[in-house]
Structure 1
C-alpha cells in the first residue's frame, strides 16, 4: 500500500484559531479554587441563557443564511475531507478534533467531569507520504511530528488528556481500504463455520480435563460461543468504570440455580459490560458447565475472579491455536450472522408485503441485538412519536371505513345501472380502498416495529456484526429495495457487498 497523500493545501484536523492565537478558555484559577468549594452554589444562568439564545438564533436563520452555512461546510469538506490513497481520491471519516469540554464517559465513569483540553497543532502527528506536499500548520504553530508510515491506516493522531488514549483521523468507512478490511472480517467468520463443530467438540472434551486452566478456558469459550460474550480486556484499576467481560468475571457476577424457570442447571449472569451497559441473563447450561462453575467458585469470596487461571491474553492465544485469525469477536460475528440468516429464513414469507418483510427483517436483527446485548434507553421522544403514530393510524382507519362505505354504494349503483361509467367509478373506489388499506397496514407495522425496538439498538449489529451480503441476498430474493434496509451512507460503506452478493448467497 502506498502512503496516503494529503490533498494539496490541507491544514490539520482542526485549525487552532486564526493567526496562531490560542482560543480563550475559561478555567478556574488556583485562587478561584480556594474560594469556590461547591459548584452547586454557583449561578450558571447567564451561560445557560447564552447557549439557549444561540440555539434560537440558529433556528431563526433564513433559508438563504442556512444555505450559505451549508456551502461553507461543503467547502471545508472539500478542502479537509479527502486524501489520495494509492492514486485514488478517498473520503476521510471525521477530520475534526473534539472541542474542549467536560468529559462524560459511559455509565458511572470515575473520570466524569474532568476537563478535556483543546487540541493544538503541537499535539498532532501528521502521517502522509514523503513525496506529498506536507500541510502547513496555522501561523505561529508547528506539528508535533510529520511521519511517513505505510504500515498504519490513520492520517493524523493525537493523545487526549483524560484517559491518555490516542485518537485518530481515519478513512471513511466507504473507502476501498475499509471495505477490504470489512470483507476480510466476514470471510474469517465464514471460515469459522467450517471448523466450529470441531472447536465445540474440543472444548466439551476439555470440561473434564485434569488441568484447571484448560477447564476454565473451555467454560469461558462456551460462554463466548453460546452467549456471544466479549473476552474482556485487562485495564488499570480506577482508570475506567467497573466493566467486565468473560475472562474478568468475578464470583459476585454469577449465581447458580439447580433448578429455575422449569429448567435444570441455570446460570444467572449480572454484570456491567462494555460502555457500562448491564448484562443480565438467566440461561440453562449443560451439566458439566454447571459442575465446573461450582468448582471454580469454591472457597472464593465475592470479589475473586471466577476464571482465576485465565487471562484475555492466554484465551486469545488459545483461539489462535484453534484457527488462524480467531478471536472472541470472530465468534460474535459468526454467531450474529448465522442467527440473522436463520431468523430471516424462519420469519420471511414470500407472499408478504414489503412492509411486513421489513418487519420480519427488523425482528431478525433484534434477535441478534439481544444476543449481543445491544441495549439502549427508551428515547425521550418515544411516547410523543407513538402518540402521533397512533393518531395517524386512527385517521387512516376512519378513511378506510369511509372508503368501504363508498365502495358499497358504488357496487349497489353499478348493480342498478350496469353501465361503463358506474363500472369505472366502482374500479376507482376499489383501487382507493386497496391503497388506503395498504397505508394502514404500513402504519400498523411501523407502530409494532417501533414498540418492539424501543430498548434495543439495531444499528450496532447491523453495521459491525452482520455480514451485509446476507441482507443484500435477502433483499434480492424477496424483492425488497435495498434502500429500505441500508441508507445512502451505509450503501456506500457496503458497496462491495452490493456488487458481490447474489440472491443465493449463503454465509
Structure 2
C-alpha cells in the first residue's frame, strides 16, 4: 500500500472504501435541502426509543447493534502526548497501527499534567478540576426532540460584541435527606463579612478589619497580568492533610453471619465487612450483581491475607458463597449509632462541631504568594467501597486506606514542611511551582491521582473558570468559518479529512464528547472519535442511532436526523470488512482532531464546543425573554425553562429520583391544604357578615369539589398531629435551653397545659364538621382582614403551583450540570440583575463564592 493513501481520492482504503469522488453515490448528494447555518436541519432527536428490527441493513449485511465492546488501548501511568501519526503509519487505519500504552489527557489540561513516574515530574490536575464533574451523557426523553431541533437551529454565530464595561459593582444579594445521609445546604441569607469575635486591642482590630477589606477589594479579574506564564506561585505554605480516623472494632456481640453462624474476623477483614454492612440501605449498590461480585472477590482476599474467618469455637470457616453472608447485624449496629447521633441534644451537636472545626482549622487555609487562600478538599479519602457512576465495571471494589507513605507534599522551598503522623513519613516533598496542588496520592481502584487543591472561591480556581468561559466567547469569532469548512470537507477526497469533518459536525451539532482512549482496566466508555461499529445504527434516509457508554459509564442513547452527506459518510465508514469492535473513525484520534481545531484558534479543543453552544444558546434565550412582570417564582421558572433548553442541547439527563412522586404528592397536598384554609376564611367572613353571601354570590363561598368530606377529616387529623408535634418539640427545646442555662426543667404538667390547645382544635373541627359553619377565630377579626388573608393565600397557592410545575418539568433534566459547568455564570448574573431576582435563587452559597468574579464583574447589559 502506498504511504500517501490519505492524500489520495477515496478510490481504495485497504479494501474498505471503493467510492470514487465521481461516483454517482457522491455526485447525487442532495445540496438542495433546506439548510441551517450550513447544514441540513440537524438535531431532530428521538431518545430512549427502541432500536427496531427494521433498522437499515448495511450492504455487507453486518448487524448494526452488536455486542462487541471497544478494546482498551492504554494503561494508567506515564502521560505522553498523542502525536499525529507518522507518514509511515498513516496509510493504515488506526485499528491496524502500532498500539501504544498511553493515557491521553484532555488537551485542554495537558499543560498542567507533568509526568509522575520514574523520578519525573508529578502529574498535575486540570486547574479547573474541583471534584467529580456532575455531568451525564444520557440523553433526555423523546418528548423533547422537536424542542431540541429548534434550539440547535437558533444556536448559530452572530458578530461578536465586546463585553460592556462594568458600570457599577454588583450588590451582593441577601443572602431530603439523601440515601447517604448528606443533607442539601439551604440557601444562605445575606451576611456581613465575619470579623474576629475575640475582644482585642483596638489597634489590632482595626488592622485586622483593614486587612479583610483589602482581601475583599482584590479583584483579580481586572488584573490582566494574572494567570500568564507557567509559574503558578512563588511562595506556598500549608499544613498538609487531615487523615480519616482509624477503624474502631465492632462490639463482641456484633458479628456478620455466614450460613447463620456468627463469624469472627481479623480487624482488616471486619472493616471491609463493615463497609458493605453500612450500605444495606443503598439497594441501588448492594443489589447490583457487579457490585456484589467485586466486593466479595476483594473481601475473600482480605480474609485470606488476614488469617481467615472463625466461628465462636475457633473453628475455621471457609467463606465461599456471597449468598450465605449476612451483614444485617453490622447494619443494625451502625444504624443505631446514626439514630443516636441524630437525636443528640443541640448543645452536644454544637460542641462536637466546634471541636471538629477547631481541629481542622489549621488545614483550611494556605498562604499562596502571601495571600490567604481557602483549601478545598484537605481531607484524605477514607477507605470504603468504590461506587463509581453509571455502569462502572469496578463498582464494589475495596478502596484501601491511604497512608502517609503514599502522599506527596507540594510546598515552597523555604516553607516549613508539615509533619506526617507519628511513626510515618511522606512519600516525597516537592516544590513544583507549575502545579496548583498542595498534596497528591494515587488511589488503588483506577490508578487515578487524587489532589488537594484550592477551594472553588480561590483566585486560582476563579481564574481557571474565567479563562474557560472567555475561550468559549472567543470561539464566536471563528465558529462560522469552522462550520463552513466542515460542511465543505464532508465531501473531501481524502478519507482522513472526511472523518475530521464528520467528527466536528457531530461534536458541534449533538454535543458529543471527543472521546479519549482508555486503559485495559478502565471503564469501557467511548466518545465521538472512538465510536465502534456497533455504537451507530443507520436508518435511511438520514436517521442515525447512537448507543454507547459515555462519560462515567452512563448510557448515551440518541436517535437523530443528520445532514444527508454525514449519513452517507457514516455509511462509508461502516463499509465491509468492518465489523463489531472496529472503530468507525479509524483514521482519527482525539489528539489529531484537537490539533486540527487549534489551527482555527489557539487552545481550541472539542471540549470548548460544549461550553460555547451551551452559553451561546442560553444567551440567545435570555435575550428573547421578557420576564419583567410576574412574581419571583415565575421569574425563576422562566430562568429554569431557559436552562432546561441548554440541558437539552447538551444531553444532560438524570434519572428520576425515587422520592420524586412522593415529593410531588406532598406539594399537591400542601396546595390543597391552603385551599381548605382559604375556604375556612371565607366561612369566617360569613360568620361576621351573613349578607355577604348575597353580595358576593353563593359560588364564592362554596368549597372546591376535590375537597370532599373524607379528605377534610384526614387533613384535620394531620393538622391536629402537626400542632401536637410542634408543641412537644418546643417543650423539649425550652427544657434543653433551661438546662444549658443552669435552670430547672419544666414539669410535665406544663406540657399538658400547652397541649390543651390541641384538644381545643380537635373540638373546633368536630363542631365545624357537624354544623357546616366556621366561627371567626382571631380577636378583632374583620371582613377586610380576612379578605387580605385570602389574597395572601392565593399568592402562596400560585407560587407553589409554579414551583410544582417547575419541579415536574425538571425531573429528568440535570439543570445543575449546565448551570455550573457549561453556561457562563455571568449570564445568570445578568438575568438576576436585569429582572431583580436575588442571586441566591440560582447560586447556593458555595456557588456564589465560586463565581464571585462573575457576580462582581458584569452588569445587566453584558452579553456573552
TM-score if structure 1 supplies the norm length? 0.90
Contact 2:240 2:438 in 1 (8 A): no
Contact 1:16 1:138 in 2 (8 A): no
Match of 1:447 among 786, 804, 816: 804
Deviation of 1:495 after TM superposition, in Å, equals: 0.5
The answer to whether the aligner puts 1:271 opposite 2:548 as a matched pair is yes
Contact 2:244 2:380 in 1 (8 A): no
- From the superposition, tell whether residues 364 and 55 of structure 1 become closer, same or farther in structure 2 (CA, over 3 Å): same
The answer to whether the aligner puts 1:245 opposite 2:527 as a matched pair is yes
Deviation of 1:17 after TM superposition, in Å, equals: 5.3
- Structure 2 distance, partners of 1:55, 1:4, is 43
Deviation of 1:146 after TM superposition, in Å, equals: 0.9
Match of 1:40 among 316, 323, 326: 323
Deviation of 1:373 after TM superposition, in Å, equals: 2.4
Give the structure 2 partner of residue 29 of structure 1: 304
Contact 2:518 2:525 in 1 (8 A): no
**Map of 1:31-70 to 2, 5 A cutoff?**
32=308, 35-70=318-353
- Structure 1 distance, partners of 2:826, 2:461, is 16
Deviation of 1:430 after TM superposition, in Å, equals: 4.5
The answer to whether the aligner puts 1:321 opposite 2:599 as a matched pair is yes
**Map of 1:206-355 to 2, 5 A cutoff?**
206-237=489-520, 239-259=521-541, 265-299=542-576, 300-355=578-633
**Map of 1:71-82 to 2, 5 A cutoff?**
71-82=354-365
TM-score if structure 2 supplies the norm length? 0.54
Higher relative contact order (CA 8 A, sep 6+): 2
Contact 1:374 1:460 in 2 (8 A): yes
The answer to whether the aligner puts 1:176 opposite 2:407 as a matched pair is no
Give the structure 2 partner of residue 101 of structure 1: 384
- From the superposition, tell whether residues 427 and 60 of structure 1 become closer, same or farther in structure 2 (CA, over 3 Å): closer
Which structure 1 residue ranges, 5 or more long, are not aligned?
A: 260-264, 417-423
Deviation of 1:397 after TM superposition, in Å, equals: 2.2
Match of 1:155 among 416, 438, 444: 438
Contact 2:545 2:560 in 1 (8 A): yes
- From the superposition, tell whether residues 391 and 193 of structure 1 become closer, same or farther in structure 2 (CA, over 3 Å): same
Partner SS for 1:155: strand
Deviation of 1:88 after TM superposition, in Å, equals: 1.2
Superposed CA RMSD in Å reads 2.5
Partner SS for 1:28: helix
Partner SS for 1:398: helix
Deviation of 1:83 after TM superposition, in Å, equals: 0.6
- Structure 2 distance, partners of 1:163, 1:346, is 46
- Structure 1 distance, partners of 2:591, 2:563, is 26
Give the structure 2 partner of residue 495 of structure 1: 852
Deviation of 1:414 after TM superposition, in Å, equals: 13
Which structure 2 residue ranges, 5 or more long, are not aligned?
A: 1-231, 248-265, 270-301, 310-316, 696-780
- Structure 2 distance, partners of 1:102, 1:133, is 35
Contact 1:16 1:120 in 2 (8 A): no
Partner SS for 1:305: coil
- Structure 2 distance, partners of 1:430, 1:130, is 73
- Structure 2 distance, partners of 1:412, 1:494, is 59
- From the superposition, tell whether residues 460 and 211 of structure 1 become closer, same or farther in structure 2 (CA, over 3 Å): same
Structure with higher helix content: 1
Q: Deviations over 1:99-123 (max 9, x none)?
A: 1122222233232332211111111
- Structure 2 distance, partners of 1:373, 1:298, is 29
- Structure 2 distance, partners of 1:89, 1:37, is 54
Deviation of 1:24 after TM superposition, in Å, equals: 5.0
- Structure 2 distance, partners of 1:411, 1:76, is 68
- Structure 2 distance, partners of 1:213, 1:449, is 46
Contact 1:12 1:137 in 2 (8 A): no
Which deviates more, 400-409 or 374-383? 400-409
- Structure 2 distance, partners of 1:29, 1:132, is 45
Contact 2:242 2:360 in 1 (8 A): no
Give the structure 2 partner of residue 6 of structure 1: 237
- Structure 2 distance, partners of 1:4, 1:391, is 59
Give the structure 1 partner of residue 814 of structure 2: 457
Deviation of 1:210 after TM superposition, in Å, equals: 0.6
Partner SS for 1:37: coil
- Structure 2 distance, partners of 1:61, 1:406, is 43
Give the structure 1 partner of residue 795 of structure 2: 438
- From the superposition, tell whether residues 49 and 15 of structure 1 become closer, same or farther in structure 2 (CA, over 3 Å): closer
- Structure 1 distance, partners of 2:477, 2:572, is 33
Give the structure 2 partner of residue 419 of structure 1: none
The answer to whether the aligner puts 1:361 opposite 2:644 as a matched pair is no
- From the superposition, tell whether residues 502 and 415 of structure 1 become closer, same or farther in structure 2 (CA, over 3 Å): farther
Contact 2:644 2:810 in 1 (8 A): yes
Deviation of 1:413 after TM superposition, in Å, equals: 6.4
- From the superposition, tell whether residues 5 and 17 of structure 1 become closer, same or farther in structure 2 (CA, over 3 Å): farther
Deviation of 1:431 after TM superposition, in Å, equals: 3.3
Which deviates more, 147-156 or 38-47? 38-47
Which deviates more, 274-283 or 208-217? 274-283
- Structure 1 distance, partners of 2:528, 2:494, is 20
Deviation of 1:405 after TM superposition, in Å, equals: 6.5
Count, aligned residues? 488
Deviation of 1:489 after TM superposition, in Å, equals: 1.1
- From the superposition, tell whether residues 413 and 102 of structure 1 become closer, same or farther in structure 2 (CA, over 3 Å): closer
- From the superposition, tell whether residues 413 and 110 of structure 1 become closer, same or farther in structure 2 (CA, over 3 Å): closer
